[in-house]
Amino acid sequence: MSQESQTQRHGDVAIDSNWVHLIGMALLFAFIAFLLGWGIRDLLFDEVGHGVLQRVRSGWFDTLTYVIGAVYSLLFAYSFRAKRLKVAFLLLGTKYTVLVALVYLHVAAGVQRSIAIGGSIATQIAYTIILFAIAQWFKSVVYSVRPRDTGVSDS
C-alpha cells in the first residue's frame, strides 16, 4: 500500500453564505473583540470613570452621540429575534440612556463613577453576548465537507 492511501484526507470547507456577509461578519467580530478588550483594559486600569465623566460633561456633541447610541441600541433590540441579542442591545441602550440622564441630573461624582463602572460591565457583557452570537453564526454557515470516494465502486 502506498503512503497516500494510508493517510486520511481531510474534507474541504464549505460556506453557506456569500463572501460579502462572511467578510463583514469577520470584521464585525474583530471590531467587537477589540472593543471588549479595550473595555476590559479600562476597567482593570481604573480608567472607566474619568473618561466617561469627562465625555458626559463635554458638551452637546457627546450628548447627541449618547442619544443616537441609545436610540439605535434600543431599535436593534427590537429588530432581532434572538433573545440573547435583545438582551445585549437592551444593555447597551440602557447604558447610553443612563449616560444621557447623567448630563441632566446633578448627582455626586462618586455616584457617577459607580454608574460608569456599572455601564462598563454591562457593555462588556453585551459585547460578549454579541461575540458568541457571531461565533454561532459562523458555526452555522461554515462546515466541513467530506471528500467523495471516487476510487473503487462496489459493483
Q: pLDDT tens digit string along 110-148? A: 788 888 889 899 999 999 999 999 999 888 887 777 766
Please state, in angstroms and as integers, the Cα–Cα distance from residue 94 to each residue in 16, 71, 77, 80, 142, following that order: 35, 10, 11, 17, 34
Cα 92 to Cα 11: distance, rounded to the nearest angstrom = 41
pLDDT digits (tens, 9 = 90+) for 56-111: 566 777 778 888 989 999 898 888 888 899 999 999 999 888 888 877 787 777 78
Burial of 96 (0-12, 13-18, 19+ CB in 10 A): buried
- What is the per-residue pLDDT for 125? 96
The rounded percent of the chain whose pLDDT value lies above 90 is 29
Residue 82: enclosing H or E segment and its boundaries? none
Domain boundaries, the chain: 17-142
Task: Report the C-alpha dihedral over residues 112, 116, 121, 123, rounded to 10 degrees.
Answer: 130
